[in-house]
Each structure stands twice: as C-alpha cells, then as structure tokens.
Structure 1
C-alpha cells in the first residue's frame, strides 16, 4: 500500500485547546481544503478547492472562536472532504466522490481498493481516533462530554436553485437534550430563521455524531451555518457569537 502522506504534509487532524476545561467538545469534519502533496490537488485548481465542495466555508474561523470562548477542546480534519469525507462511511460513493456538485474530480476517478484503504487508514481513522481519545480524557476526569459538530451549508439548494432561508440549522437525531434548548433560545430572536433538522436532517445519515456521542449516550448536536453569512472572519465570528450565546444557555441547563 503506497503512503499518501509524506514529510511535506501535516498530520491528518489538528487540535486546539486540548487542555480546555469545558464539558463541550467541538469537532469539525470539513475544516480544511488541503490535499496531500502526493495527490496533486486531485487534478483540481485552487479555485475549485476553495469552493464548498472542498471544505466547509467559514467553519475554521467559527471553530477557533468557539473553542476559545468556551475554553473547549476542538478536534478538526486537516484535509479536504474530497480526499475522504470524514463524515461519511468509508467506501461509500460520497466518501471520495468522482463528481462533486457537478465538478469532475479527476483524482478520485477509478480509485483502487488499495487507494481507498490508504485514505481511510491515513486520514479518516486518525481523525476519529483523536475524537475518541479526547472523549476518553474528558470522561476520565469526570466530565460528561457535550459534542458539537460544526458545519456550513450553501445558500441555495443543490441542483435546484431554491434559496435556503435559515441562517443557522440545528441537526439532531433521537437525543434532543441539547438541540431543543439551543433551537428555542435562537428562535427567541424574531429576526432569525432557525432550522430544526434543516437544511439537513440528523436522521438521514452522516457518521461522526452517530459514531461518537450517540454511541456513548452523550448530549450532542450538529450546527450548520449558511456560507454566504460566514465567508469572512468578521462575519464568521459574528454568527459564532450568536450561536455561542444560545449554546452557553443550553449547556448550563444540562449542567443543572
């Protein structure tokens, strides 16, 4: 099996504030749009990788703000979702797509089982191992981790041109301990349109929340920020603050 990562590449994942004392753990599955040097940008231009197909626009700024505000650990991916999507089951068509939102991805065409396995073992598994390890540490020192998965979404519905009105969407499956108070608090602002399992539903798939907090019974949500609202650092921090205010109230109610 040929190695993907070389000494020119950073680690598969990154961490921020690993010693943070908050019960909250932030995770970011689509944090960067980097491609390992050996994969030669998957045959794409830098402009294409900078689109939403390459990563979740604005989320790095949001994640850093929230990690610092809450004194909370953050675990994030270091490579583009196009290399391997760490919120998908490895080996499925969406995990390393040959076409992403209408864009051909030459470096993902006709991948062998060995190539797919290299991406899984070098990028996917280390990231998820880091999440498990951080949760283990938090549990060991008496914290019940509260997991928040950070994402962003396009302002128009894929392939339909339908506007998405939500500024923020809260994603959840069966456990509403965190989702319900966050949604209720955000909706107290009558100027906001807050999605409840919109623009995506926590009941329709994904990987990270199922594999980690749901498997262990910990409170959790996914949060989606609309990308046109968070495309600059200043705006990303603004919307991170809006969400952070609601999250702070919700976490306090869980603690009580």
Structure 2
C-alpha cells in the first residue's frame, strides 16, 4: 500500500483558558491510499464519525476561549481512542457494517501513520499548556444496529476512569438541569478511556469525557443549545478543581 500523503494529525484551535478540549472522533476522512471498501453513505454514519462532536467542540472552544485538538481521520481507518493493542483498533466490522479493506491491514503502518502522530501531538500540547482540566467531547447513537439492545433514553453521559473530580460536578450539574445523564453510561470509562488515561490521569490532570446523544447535536440549533448547557458545568468543574475540592 502506498503511504498516504502527509496530513496534520490534528486540527488545533488556539485558546488561553486552562481547559483543553479533545475530539478523537471529529472526522470521517479516509486518507488517499487507504480503501475501506464501504459504501459512501457509511462514512456519514456514526460508525465513521461522532456526529455533532466536531461542531460542538468548536463551539465550546469559542465559548470557553479554550484550546482544542480535533482528530483528522475516521475511526474506521483507525480508532484513535483505543490503545495500540486493542483488538478493535482497526475495525473489520463496526455495528453490523463490514469494513473489508481493513481485513489484513498492516497494524503497525496504521499506528505509525495516524495513531502515533495524533497522540504525540496531544502529548506535546498537554506538556506545553499544562491544562487544569481536559475534556473529551464525543457523541453516541440512540440505538445500535446490532445486539438487540433497546433504544437509549439518555441525553448525555459523563465518562471517567479513576479520577472523579470533574465527573461528579458534571453529572450533578447536568442532572440539576433536568437532563437525563448517565454516570459512566452509555458505556464505562473504566473500560474505554484510552486517550484520557494516557494524557490526563497518567499525568495527574483532571479529565472527563462528555457524550451527547447524536440526534441532539445533529444541527446548528442543537449544537448551540448543548454549548449553552455544557459550558457552565465545565467551568464549574474547572473551578472546583482549582479550589482543590
């Protein structure tokens, strides 16, 4: 396979706040030289990109004057939110969608081309900026196509591993607004939290993932509404951490 043309591993939004925003699944881009073998419409679906997460991250960055790092490759190419040894790092199937072009893909090449540069960029940003809080923005689908699970009624989820400093403020703040909020749901950050484990917890930096149901941020109105909802609770979490509470 021809090595893809050089491409920045992240889009960087500058900011002065002591909060760093991350968006691992911001893009549905498939670099030249990689053929996934899926229908074009698949690349507009949640298996390829976290719908609404990229514009929401941008809106929050503007509202908070916060720096942000947005990934530039689809998770069907490589899932930047998983550890290099994770079996689903380069998915051959995702929620019932077959990805034949990934069958037999060179794992080490994909890591060297995309995963390693992305995490190197994040590491350098954390070292340079020394944020007080790292917040990862994701979105989740109302119902998976496979597994036979019922529709999710949650509007948002707050995910974390061992560090609960920001999570407890966010869960309480969102629930106080009447938002049906999952505490380590719709999946557990103790199971999948690779980016924040590496760049947050490993450095002793408070960190948390926020998941918003994709249909709620699928248009500009939804993004604006959720920016208004999330910005104050993120600031509240940062302030509690600053006070050492």
Coarse TM-score class (shorter-chain normalised):
over 0.9
| Equivalent residues of 2:132, 2:238 under 8 A apart | no
Aligned to 1:38: 33
User: Structure 2, unaligned stretches of length 5 or more?
Assistant: none
Mapped to 1, the partners of 2:3 and 2:12 lie a distance apart of 21
1:125 matched to 2:116? yes
Question: Deviation digits for residues 130-168 of structure 1, max 9, x if unmatched?
Answer: 1111111113xxxx4311011110101452241111111
Q: 1:187 aligns with which of 159, 163, 175?
A: 175
Q: List gaps (5 residues or longer) in structure 1.
A: none
Q: Which residue of 1 aligns with 2:153?
A: 165
Q: Over residues 160-210 of structure 1, what are the superposed CA-to-partner deviations in whole Å (9 max), with x where a residue is unaligned? A: 2411111110001111111111111111123x1111101011111231011
- After TM superposition, the score normalised by the length of structure 2 is 0.94
Following TM superposition, the consecutive aligned residue runs of length 4 or more in structure 1 with deviations greater than 3 angstroms are none
Counterpart pick for 1:53 among 47, 52, 56: 47
Superposition TM-score, scaled by structure 1 size:
0.90
Q: Secondary structure at the match of 2:176?
A: coil
Matches within 5 A, 1:24-173: 24-40=19-35, 42-111=36-105, 115-139=106-130, 144-157=131-144, 158-173=146-161
CA distance in 1, matches of 2:210, 2:141: 14
1:236 partnered with 2:227:
no
Would the aligned equivalents of 1:4 and 1:119 in 2 still touch at CA under 8 Å?
no
Assess if the C-alpha contact under 8 Å between 2:27 and 2:49 holds in 1: yes
Q: Quick one: which of 206, 214, 232 aligns to 1:245?
A: 232
